[in-house]
Amino acid sequence: MKSNLFKSVWVTLTVLTVWGCNPLKLKDITDPNNPSVASVSSNASRAQIQFLITGLESRHRDYLFTVTAAFGTFGREIWYFNASDPRFQTDWLGQSGRRPDAAYFGFGATGGAAYASPYQTIRQAIVLRNAALNTNVLSEQEKKAVTGFAKTIMGYQFMIPANFLYENGIRVDVEDPLKPGPFVTYQEGLTYIKGVLDQGFADLNAAGTTFPFILTSGWAGFNSIDGLKRVNRAIAARLAIYRRDWQGALDALNASFMNVTGNLSAGPAHVYGAAPDIFNPLFYVLNANISTIIIVHPSMLSDATPNDARVAAKFFQRTTPASVSTDAGTLFGTHQDRRWATNTTSIPFIKNEELILIKAEAHAQLNQFTEAVDAINVIRTAANIGNYSGAQTQAALITEILYQRRYSLWAEPWGHRWIDTRRYDRMNEIPVNLDQGAVFRQFPKPQADLNWDLYVGG
């Protein structure tokens, strides 16, 4: 995928600044060789629709590094060492009494990817949706295919700021970037997102069998209408457990790509490549003598089950520990991420292993303990740690499932551990003794967004 294709061909986004620029506004680029947003709003060509799809896939990756590094740090899955700026330790770890506020350091480094970037992706999806609806070159089935894909990506992206701001709420009405709707509660936001995903699924159900445009290799196995529907339902299953809709989660899983006997790593992925594309942002050369690196949190090593195959597959022991020092002290890391073979390796954004764990959780919550244990054992067998032998009670099974999620979904581009401990009121289980920090429950509305409302009289 050409990452800069979208950025140079289509639109640029207004900068999110403390002066209140609108983070939701797409603006035109004056370029005699390339089309503007206005030019694709009415009767776009097939080539223009294809460029918008490619651009949406590119935008769909923009959250990944910072959400992985920041949310992973908040949940103490990882430490992100960055010797150039100590705030990645002091502020992200909440050391020395540092706490997030509306102008928090994270809204430059974290908020850009956890808040502004998802909304920019959503706006790109809206442009794609409208272009498909307002052109005469597509059949009705082709239009449904495009709008179904766009809404699927929108649903995924909306969940990022929702989990970032949590009880501070999110905006869901961003159809008019100059008049965005008010903030709604977390639960209202999740209900809205469910509607977006369900609409996308309905569109795909009316789209025939063939997706009429080209997707990247990250969608291999899912680049058909049926495949897109299965991805849509997988995302819906993730959303359902946030909504505590346990039967809804199982219903979504039944229509997803979940396969209890299949490859656990199967799923759609973000792809990377050499220039003019971008490299895998989570790749670090093993054992490199560098001062900027993602480190495995020591608790992931000390809490691991003996002989867990996931530990060997994901954690690489460095010859020399990495370290970083700030005014709050020095941190040492003995292990780094070893999941990515090269700097162009694709990164899955939802996979079969997560879906099986969602299945286990939903069954446990519905007191269907046999089915829950069966799903747990799929994960444990793959990890080479034997079948579950603990108590078959809801409390015991949820504890087991959260433990397995911690290792199966370690440092995924989502921050599962941080979100999981919060939704089960277990944030006190996040270890802070090694960094003498604090655990953040949520983040405030960004100052730039507050300023925008003040500026427009919202």
- 234: helix, strand or coil: helix
Nearest to 437 by CA among 67, 168, 75, 81: 75
Residues 6+ apart with CB under 8 A from 177: 22, 24, 25, 26, 123
The answer to the question of residue 119 being in a domain is: yes
Q: What is the mean pLDDT of residues 144-158?
A: 98
Task: Write out pLDDT tens, residues 21-76.
Answer: 455 554 443 344 455 777 787 899 999 999 999 999 999 999 999 999 999 999 99
Prediction pTM value: 0.92
Task: Write out pLDDT tens, residues 64-111.
Answer: 999 999 999 999 999 999 999 989 999 999 999 998 888 787 666 666
The answer to the question of residue 265 being in a domain is: no
The answer to the question of residue 48 being in a domain is: yes
Task: Please tell me the number of Cα atoms within 13 Å of 452 on its side-chain side.
Answer: 23
With 70 as the cut, is the pLDDT of residue 458 above it?
Answer: no
The answer to the question of residue 431 being in a domain is: yes
The answer to the question of residue 69 being in a domain is: yes
Q: What is the mean pLDDT of residues 289-317?
A: 97
The answer to the question of residue 393 being in a domain is: no
What tokens appear for 202 in the block?
A: 């309905």
Angle at which helices 117-133 and 140-165 cross, to 10° = 160
State which H helix or E strand residue 108 sits in.
Answer: helix 106-109
Structural domain count of the chain: 1
What is the domain extent for residue 428?
3-75+88-247+416-456
The answer to the question of residue 365 being in a domain is: no
The CATH number of residue 51's host domain is 1.25.40
**Burial of residue 136, with CB atoms counted within 10 A of its CB: 0-12 exposed, 13-18 middle, 19 or more buried:** exposed
With 50 as the cut, is the pLDDT of residue 17 above it?
Answer: no
Q: Look over the chain and give the mean of its residue pLDDT values, rounded to a whole number.
A: 91
The answer to the question of residue 154 being in a domain is: yes
Q: What is the dihedral of CA 100, 101, 104, 106, to 10 degrees?
A: 50
